[in-house]
Amino acid sequence: MSELNKEVLDLVWGRPSSGGVSASIFRRWTQGFVFSENEHTALEQFEGGPCAVIAPVQAFFLKNVLFNRESSNWRQMTEEEQKTELCSTLNEILESACASPTTGFCLVTWAKGQSPHASVHTKSQTESQSQTQDMPAPESSQPPQEQQPNALAAKDLDFERFHSVLHKRTVMSVSELKEEVLSLYHAWRGCCGVLLFLYSVILTKGIENIRNEIQDTMEPLIDPVHGHGSQSLVNLLVTGHAVSNVWDGDRECSGMKLHGIHKQASVGFLTLMESLRYCKVGSFLKSPKFPIWILGSETHLSVFFTKDMCLVGPESPTEQARRVFQSFDPEDNGFIPESLLEDVMKALDLVSEPEYVNLVKSKLDPESLGIILLGPFLLEFFPDQDSGIPDSLPVYHYNGLKQSNHNERVEYVEGTALVLGFEDPMVRTDDTPVKRCLQTKWPYIELLWSTDRSPSLN
């Protein structure tokens, strides 16, 4: 691993001017993939930062549990089932990141005899004692099945020490990858498991491939000041490509090619930043294959999901019309200049003879303001379109941080979503960050949560 250390560290952590990565930021990233005691299919996040890895893994884990598993009770799991599903999820992300089958897959783990061994407490002991860890012990000393591994770093495992005891192994086939990932289950679950997996994804993808996709190669994957993962890191885990943008396809800007998302993702991504007009997420992330979306706030990632596939059904004519209209309204004003109406109608294969376009203009802009509003345009051409989405459907929200959950218990918040048309909705619920984030996909969504307080985006 030593010859790759410098390149990996520069890519992930940057070159901090202070001479090293902050000890507190590194410590926040030293956890493993640990399941909540209160929600068997939910991963727990101890401190801010590693959600950039944990939330995408959680989203893919939910996809596999909800849509690939026979059991009807998706919230109940034995530890053996957790092991199988988590390793299957990590496999899937590694396969997606693999640039070429001929280069194989890289797995980063502890060098022989160097893995930190967590001293395991019973629940009552854990509540009364601070969690501690012993000095690194041989890799073979794995926690017994019935005991929960401690996922906090050994006190003496600082940034330098951690990177000095890593080992890289390469496997050349998918079947071998599955065996190896399964055999490393306790490494993923224990101290630094999140980082071990992140480094595995990066080396499987290839450092040079990541650099070619990132817009600004000086921007590290983990912010050295705040410890948050970059959009490139999130996109790498969600799509297999470390592009820095969330729009569809590539764009030219001042002679420079800016890379975006190139195909429909399995799980989606929505961000509060879009409601604040800092960016616009393209349909490849907004309309994924499965009804699971990672939600981004300024500082955190959580997950919104449902079991109802109707939320990701084929685009209805109304949705297509809205998307096309908005492509001519890049600033998201809700209207276009009337001079663009003919282009919009052509793009939607509507009758676009000049005489008819002028007739429509006079009808949609009776006061001759020179603009065409989105609402009246949709009502004119798609008045009775049914979106195919039921009046209401059960939805769930996941936030891995204990302190962001009711009673500090990491559990899904259940709710009911009403996805209404573009007419004025009859029901108006609260205006929360979660709702504003979802409104970038469903402008007239209303949410009724089963808890007294709405789930937190942070």
pLDDT confidence of 14, banded at 50, 70, 90? Answer: confident
Residues 245-248: contacts with CB under 8 Å, at least 24 apart = 245/215, 245/279, 246/271, 246/279, 246/280, 246/281, 246/282, 246/285, 247/279, 247/280, 247/281, 247/282, 248/282, 248/283, 248/284
Please identify which of the residues 51, 106, 192, 437 carries the catalytic annotation: 51
Distance CA 4, CA 230 (A): 21
The answer to whether 431 touches 276, Cβ cutoff 8 Å, is: no
- The candidate with the shortest Cα–Cα distance to 151, out of 77, 14, 50, is 50
367-380 confidence digits (pLDDT tens):
999 999 998 998 89
Distance CA 437, CA 458 (A): 12
pLDDT given at position 153: 42
pLDDT given at position 362: 94
The answer to whether 390 touches 414, Cβ cutoff 8 Å, is: no
pLDDT given at position 139: 41
198-240 confidence digits (pLDDT tens):
999 999 999 999 999 998 878 899 998 889 999 999 999 999 9
Read off the amino acid at residue 183. Answer: S
Question: Which one is predicted more confidently, 171 or 144?
Answer: 171
pLDDT confidence of 445, banded at 50, 70, 90? Answer: confident
276-286 confidence digits (pLDDT tens):
888 889 888 99
pLDDT given at position 31: 95
Q: What is the dihedral of CA 31, 33, 37, 42, to 10 degrees?
A: 130
pTM for this predicted structure: 0.82
Torsions phi, psi of 312, nearest 5?
Answer: -120, 25
Least confident of 162-171, 333-342, 421-430, 442-451: 421-430
- The candidate with the shortest Cα–Cα distance to 428, out of 410, 448, 403, is 448
DSSP state of 102: G
In this prediction, residues 168-176 reach a mean pLDDT of 93
pLDDT given at position 133: 37
242-283 confidence digits (pLDDT tens):
999 998 888 877 778 888 898 889 999 999 999 888 888 988
353-366 confidence digits (pLDDT tens):
999 999 999 999 99
Tokens of 295: 């939600």
Q: Is 300 a catalytic residue?
A: yes
Q: Is 241 a catalytic residue?
A: no
Distance CA 429, CA 395 (A): 15
- The candidate with the shortest Cα–Cα distance to 394, out of 313, 291, 269, is 291
Decide if pLDDT at 44 tops 70.
Answer: yes
50-102 confidence digits (pLDDT tens):
999 999 999 999 999 999 887 778 999 999 999 999 999 999 999 999 988 78
Distance CA 259, CA 248 (A): 9
31-41 confidence digits (pLDDT tens):
999 999 999 99
Please identify which of the residues 228, 300, 397, 437 carries the catalytic annotation: 300
For residues 148-167, one letter each, b for 16 or more C-beta atoms within 10 angstroms of the residue's C-beta and e for the rest, the string is bbbbbbbeebbbeebbebbe
Residue 394, beta-bridge partner list = 416
Decide if pLDDT at 297 tops 60.
Answer: yes
Decide if pLDDT at 18 tops 60.
Answer: no
Torsions phi, psi of 219, nearest 5?
Answer: -85, 115
Decide if pLDDT at 135 tops 70.
Answer: no
Distance CA 155, CA 30 (A): 11
pLDDT given at position 324: 86
Domain 317-382 has CATH 1.10.150.120: no
Decide if pLDDT at 195 tops 50.
Answer: yes
Decide if pLDDT at 439 tops 80.
Answer: yes
pLDDT confidence of 142, banded at 50, 70, 90? Answer: very low
What residue has token string 């020490």?
161
pLDDT given at position 41: 97
- Range(s) for CATH 1.10.238.10 in the chain? 317-382
pLDDT given at position 231: 95
Distance CA 300, CA 312 (A): 24
